[in-house]
Structure 1
Amino acid sequence: MSPEEYVEAVLALVERIPPGRVMSYGAVADALAERSGRNSARQIGSIMARNGGGVPWYRVVNSAGRLPPGSEVRARALLAAEGTPLRGDRVDMRRAAWYPPEG
């Protein structure tokens, strides 16, 4: 998978995250690892920062539920509007985490 195809795969996966649910950067990387040969949460963060504007970027958070840096206020408002379970200034990962079904 070329770097461009990987970016497209990441964005396509983020588009599939249902409203009210989130994935961590690491979960996105894990979900695509077998197909892509890549597995870097940091790379997912870079892809989202550069290319994520056209997808629900706010549904990708860190593994502790922290919101995207620099966009916390906007992300929190968008997540709250979708009914995403929040705990203080973070997403409640135990209740909100989503992983794509196999297949």
Structure 2
Amino acid sequence: MSFTERAVALIKQIPSGKVMTYGQIAGLAGSPRGARQVVRVLHSMSKKHNLPWHRVINSKGEIGFKDEEMYVVQKLSLEAEGILVSSDGKLDLKVYLYEPDVYK
């Protein structure tokens, strides 16, 4: 299975109300320094594979979008699943981080 296939499989299994980080997904998919590859996977394959892209955030526990419209869409999507997101786009990884025990 390729990195991309592993990343897609991991993203698909993030449950509602939980998040994973780009780097966490990259590491579990076999490329610990591949966070940007995860961004590429999300950008190019979210629609095709119906990925819950909004559940992937940066390692600081923040929404990573600079584009205001996408930022708001992601924030509202996370809040709709019960995730508390601060006004500056941060959430508590201790509470919301999903840690699958696959691909280790």
TM-score by length of 1: 0.81
The separation in 2 between residues aligned to 1:47 and 1:102, in whole angstroms, is 19
In 1, Cα distance between the equivalents of 2:46 and 2:64?
A: 11
1:31 is aligned to 28
| Mapping for residues 55-66 of structure 1, pairs under 5 Å | 55-66=51-62
Q: What is the aligned-residue RMSD (CA, Å)?
A: 1.7
Could you tell me how far 1:86 is from its partner in structure 2?
2.3
Cross-structure match for 1:96: 96
Match of 1:18 among 15, 19, 27: 15
- Is residue 19–residue 82 contact of structure 1 (8 Å, CA) maintained in 2? yes
Runs of 4+ in 1 over 4 A off after TM superposition: none
**Greater per-residue helix proportion:** 1
SS of 1:85's partner is coil
Matched with 1:73 is 72
One-letter identity of the residue aligned with 1:10: A
Segments of structure 1 that go 5 or more residues without pairing to the other structure are none
The Cα of 1:102 is off from its aligned counterpart by: 4.2
2:40 aligned partner: 46
Does the 8 A contact of 1:19 with 1:84 survive in 2? no
Aligned-pair CA distance for 1:49: 1.4
Aligned partners of 1:58 and 1:68 also within 8 Å:
no
Aligned-pair CA distance for 1:101 = 1.8
Contact 1:21–1:59 (Cα < 8 Å) also in 2: yes
Query: Are the aligned partners of 1:67 and 1:75 in contact in 2 as well (CA < 8 Å)?
Result: yes
Give the fraction of aligned pairs with identical amino acids, expressed as a percent.
30
